[in-house]
Structure 1
Amino acid sequence: MNLKEALKLADKIVFEKTGQHLDDLQEAILQGTIQRETYKEIAKDFDCSESSARKVGSALWEILSEELGEEVSKSNVRSVMGRFIFENVSNFENVAISSFNTCEQPRHPPNTPNSPPPNQETSNTKQPETPHQDLSEMPDLGAFYDRTPELETLTTWILQAQCRLIAITGISGIGKTSLAVQLVQQIKNQFDYIIWRTINVSHTLDEFQQELIQLFSQSEKLDSPTTKPKPLSLIKYLQKHRCLIILDDVHNLFSSGELAGKYKPEYEEYRLFFKQIEKLSHQSCFVLIGWEQPREISQIESQNNPIRTLQITGLDIVAAQEILRDYGLAEIDYSILIHRYQGNPLWLKSVATLIQELGVNVTDLLQNDTILLPEDVKDILRQQCDRLSDREKQILSILARETQPLKLAKLIDKQPNLDLELVNVLQSLQRRCLVEKIENSFWLSPLIKQYLLL
């Protein structure tokens, strides 16, 4: 992102909001943030206290959030402003910020002596349609840490490849839901309807379909109050409109004590429904988020297949260091700590909080190969491991005691009663993101191993 353009955009936004241009400290904070400096570094350069820089920065992000229509923080201001500038590049030089449709409702530019009244459209001005949105169940997750490659992949699959069914999978705390929230904010205006639903333990397929059908039919009645359109089947609405529908916590559809992705008896109808979404022609996309995904969704990408799976892994060093800085750890090289906790955002936040509260010497922690296991991380891992089958627990127990990755043949020797069934167990554990594969061998992350050995 061009620094000059970013400063110009921020100055316009602040001026329209407050009547004042960016002051020197606001400019220094924005410039330093774009150049990946910490508040401490910015404050030192500007000769002010770190707390003053944080206070001014927080107020600046709040103004930018309100005007740009999405949550802005120190960790994501680069991507949010860069995307806004890119999407409005043709208008950026000459059009006031308030003329952009950055929020869910269209906004009008301020009147000038030569401009028409706000409710009067000129012949060459067309207000973009506002999509129908039901995001009441979409969580507000605060700061978002850079996942540019994943966002680009998902955007390409949805907008260009026209995929109908996408699974976002990964171990607990890795940032699946945060990524989906950011995706929605980025592409929501490309759809007629965008809906977020969290699957709970009583969400039958019939209830889910009726809920969506009611939403579609009510919206059509509002759009065409003089007619009374007859409610259609859900697939007809997906064919009629361009829809993006996100289903979070899809693992609630599947049985505990079984290999990954086996439906509970009362949810078997979802299998046929997802097959219908895949096979029938329509212009909509379902995104499934969860620890487990349906077995019929392959993790092997095929160019002509309208189904894709994105397995989320840890953050890179730069983004992970931003988490540790935001959680108050001193400016040292944390690459070892980040590697030890696999760049998992939740794990890093939890261990940083624990380190701060206990006053642990981080240097000693790194030197001693110590793995801290905060209680909230244990609770989440317990939820995920409680879903495992007995066969999966047997294999994890073996791998937890090993100091080196094990080849398949070695695992068969150690668990001969599983024999050919072992490959299905390993596939299930890989799909749950509990076991990783290095070439032809299988291993556990240090933190997972630590949890299993408790």
Structure 2
Amino acid sequence: MNLKEMLHLADRIVFEKTGQHLDDLQEAVLKATLQHDTYKHVAKDFDCSESRVRNAASQLWQILSEELGEDVNKKNFRAAIHRFQVSNVSNFAKDVVVGIGIFNLCGEPRHPPDISNSHNDEKSNPQQTKTLHQDLSEMPELGDFFDRTPELQTLTTWILQQRCRLITLTGISGIGKTSLAVQLVQQIKHEFEYAVWYTLDEFPTLEKCQSNLIQLFFHSEKEDLPPTDQKRLPLIKYLQNHRCLIVLDDVHNLFCSGELAGKYKPESEEYRTLFKQIEKLSHQSCLMLIGWEQPREVTQIKSQNTSIRTLQLKGLDIATAREILRDYGLEESDNSEALIHHYQGNPLWLKSVANLIQDLGGGLTELLPNDTILLPEDLKDVLQQQFDRLSELEKQVISLLAKESQPINRAKLLENDIIPASDLLNALQSLSRRCLIEQQANFYTISPLLRQYLHRNLDGSDALP
């Protein structure tokens, strides 16, 4: 096939999936892919940011992956389209006989599938996935999504290949946990009979959460069961009977403020039982928890042979983080890498400081001389929400770390005359679980931004000594 035929075939595949033809940007992405051009060149032609082009490409690869039944990306798009064409050509005669031919040799449409008969097709093909039931109304829309390919691959492997039952996705505020999970759900939701996303500030008690889930399962099953069999089952039974993906966002809302990480609120204590059931009982579903903190029972399990996994999300790499600065019109400079380091490659933090610099009409070199660290008001508000959750013990320990410009040895921390050794070690563990401190071997430190924030809150001064 030539370029025009490949684009036409891709357009038909996208139309069959979404009911919409390729838009100009999507077509430009495919042309660039086939002509070995870069996303940066596409962005220049469309006078838009490179991240917008990457987002459009990511969504397009997802659609094509779902329709072609394989992982499609920029590197293998041409080969995937060729495999799809060969597959259709080899089945051409058979397709014409049964009246469901889709493409002819030139890729022209013959008889598009009748979507209204999809349920009949499922019954005639027992190997096809059952009808998908979704409750994703609380799942945020995918905004700017930056490259997280390794993390997506890790989570996909855990869920689809290793069949993990309970996964926690944790990280400091703004690091991109929810965006990553949204991208993941969009890519793998069709592998499940049920896909559900709930935000836990709406479900403080397990009873309410379970009631919503059971109602979803019950009503979808009710259509296929005789009246005598229509009765509600315990939640775990539905997870055993069906392949389900359940995402619970903002799981930190289940835990107390002013306590060490992971202590349940009294009204949320019953969630502990659910999480233990998910981990211990045999079933075919996956529960993903997203938040600043994770349940203590999850952190206690370290064996790689278990059905539980934890992914602590780190900051973006230098190349990807620079895309954010370019989106805000900040040109490359010697300061950009230091800026990304100070803000830990955190997408929200970088956007906040980049927006401030843009509003002031300055540049990196002008506004950030000598490693100056800016603290925009909106960023201080975000950090305050997370620090408000700390116990008094944790505040004492992190204050000690904030006074050190270099990583400090644990033995030296234990020499302090204020905090007993046992309490200090518990606080270090809790702060680590909250992703507020960094540990390398026996040394602990905090990021330059957090040190600046804590210093100003401790002393009221505006700069580090």
User: TM-score higher than 0.5 here?
Assistant: yes
CA offsets 1:35-92 (integer angstroms, 9 cap, x no match): 342667x44xxxxxxxx5439997998799589659xxxxxxx986669888877425
**Equivalent-residue separation in structure 2 for 1:399 and 1:266 (angstroms):** 34
Q: Which residue of 2 aligns with 1:47?
A: none
Letter in 2 for 1:378: K
Shift of 1:449: 0.7
CA contact under 8 A between 1:131 and 1:192: conserved in structure 2? yes
Aligned pair in 2 of structure 1 residues 65, 312: CA closer, same or farther (>3 Å)?
Answer: closer
Letter in 2 for 1:185: Q
**Equivalent-residue separation in structure 2 for 1:168 and 1:267 (angstroms):** 19
Q: Which residue of 2 aligns with 1:46?
A: none
Q: Which residue of 1 aligns with 2:401?
A: 399
* TM-score under structure 2 length normalisation: 0.79
| Structure 2: unaligned runs, 5 residues or longer | 65-70, 90-99, 457-465
CA contact under 8 A between 2:204 and 2:253: conserved in structure 1? no
Q: Which residue of 1 aligns with 2:191?
A: 190
Aligned pair in 2 of structure 1 residues 9, 445: CA closer, same or farther (>3 Å)?
Answer: farther
Identity over aligned pairs, percent: 54
Q: Which residue of 1 aligns with 2:67?
A: none
Give 3-state SS (helix, strand or coil) of 1:172's partner: coil
Q: Which residue of 2 aligns with 1:54?
A: 48
Q: Which residue of 1 aligns with 2:428?
A: 426
- How large is the RMSD of aligned CA atoms in angstroms? 4.0
* TM-score under structure 1 length normalisation: 0.81
**Equivalent-residue separation in structure 2 for 1:423 and 1:239 (angstroms):** 40
Aligned pair in 2 of structure 1 residues 269, 130: CA closer, same or farther (>3 Å)?
Answer: same
Shift of 1:347: 0.7
Shift of 1:263: 0.4
Q: Which moved further from structure 2: 79-88 or 131-140?
A: 79-88
Residue correspondences, number: 425
Letter in 2 for 1:444: I
Aligned pair in 2 of structure 1 residues 126, 417: CA closer, same or farther (>3 Å)?
Answer: closer
Q: Which moved further from structure 2: 316-325 or 187-196?
A: 316-325
Shift of 1:418: 2.2
Aligned pair in 2 of structure 1 residues 172, 63: CA closer, same or farther (>3 Å)?
Answer: closer
**Equivalent-residue separation in structure 2 for 1:67 and 1:172 (angstroms):** 28
**Equivalent-residue separation in structure 2 for 1:180 and 1:20 (angstroms):** 26
Aligned pair in 2 of structure 1 residues 117, 248: CA closer, same or farther (>3 Å)?
Answer: closer
Counting only pairs closer than 5 Å after superposition, residues 200-219 of structure 1 correspond to structure 2 as: 200=201, 203-219=204-220
Q: Which residue of 1 aligns with 2:347?
A: 345
CA contact under 8 A between 2:101 and 2:110: conserved in structure 1? no
- The structure with the greater share of residues assigned to helix is 2
CA contact under 8 A between 1:7 and 1:27: conserved in structure 2? no
**Equivalent-residue separation in structure 2 for 1:19 and 1:201 (angstroms):** 37
Shift of 1:194: 0.8
CA offsets 1:132-188 (integer angstroms, 9 cap, x no match): 111001001312111111111111111121111111000000001111111101111
Q: Which moved further from structure 2: 243-252 or 359-368?
A: 359-368
Q: Which residue of 2 aligns with 1:73?
A: none
Give 3-state SS (helix, strand or coil) of 1:296's partner: helix
| Structure 1: unaligned runs, 5 residues or longer | 44-51, 71-77, 97-106
CA contact under 8 A between 2:88 and 2:103: conserved in structure 1? no
**Equivalent-residue separation in structure 2 for 1:365 and 1:129 (angstroms):** 57
Aligned pair in 2 of structure 1 residues 213, 300: CA closer, same or farther (>3 Å)?
Answer: closer
Give 3-state SS (helix, strand or coil) of 1:348's partner: helix
**Equivalent-residue separation in structure 1 for 2:306 and 2:3 (angstroms):** 39
